[in-house]
Chain A
Amino acid sequence: GAGVSQSPRYKVTKRGQDVALRCDPISGHVSLYWYRQALGQGPEFLTYFNYEAQQDKSGLPNDRFSAERPEGSISTLTIQRTEQRDSAMYRCASSPPLRQGSSEQYFGPGTRLTVT
């Protein structure tokens, strides 16, 4: 079946502009996660949702970053007033309901954000 999709795949924006990154999870997946990955490093947790509820946003760097998942499916990560340090790969993942306390995450291809 279809995997996790993200759009756009590449985004170049000027410093100070707002950007919205979209994630479409695997159908039926309850949880959705956002990560940021700098070159040569592992993914860094940003936030996650169970259904439409944002369960943890402790990884969001500052209040310019926000995320929503209003209907429990598609999610949008918004970065306001972008800065050059926001340039990175932004990855989304989804996971099915827990089975015996565990479930694996499936990752999308990512959105490469470049702030000039």
Chain B
Amino acid sequence: DAKTTQPPSMDCAEGRAANLPCNHSTISGNEYVYWYRQIHSQGPQYIIHGLKNNETNEMASLIITEDRKSSTLILPHATLRDTAVYYCIVRPFNKFYFGSGTKLNVKP
């Protein structure tokens, strides 16, 4: 299974865009990139996923490089409520490996 690498933590000013990077250099052609976040002790929350095209929904945008070896999750206007651990997951069929994620601290 492809593994991912994320920075352990990042800071972002409230109202600014948060750009969270993820490296997945061993990704296979049929593996999707998923992003989840976990706020405090709540269960992980789905954000977005994509295969090779950039994706956007009401929560975020996902930019995947052309070679698919890395991606960036963009929260366009971060709020204090976006403070959480963000997980980048490369998923073969039905398994999720969460890793340690990136702790995003949104500061006023």
Q: A41-B100, A42-B101 are in contact. Are A104 and B46 (CB under 8 A)?
A: yes
A21 to B95, CA, bound (A): 21
Contact A42 B98 (CB under 8 A): yes
CB contacts (< 8 Å) of B95 on chain A: these are: 45, 48, 56
A41 to B98, CA, bound (A): 9
Shortest CB-to-CB span from A48 to chain B, Å, is: 6
CB contacts (< 8 Å) of B42 on chain A: these are: 109
Docked complex: A2-54 residues within 8 A CB-CB of B: 4, 31, 33, 35, 41-45, 48, 50
Contact B100 A105 (CB under 8 A): no
Contact B44 A107 (CB under 8 A): yes
Residue of A89, A101, A102 with most partner-chain B CB within 10 A: A102
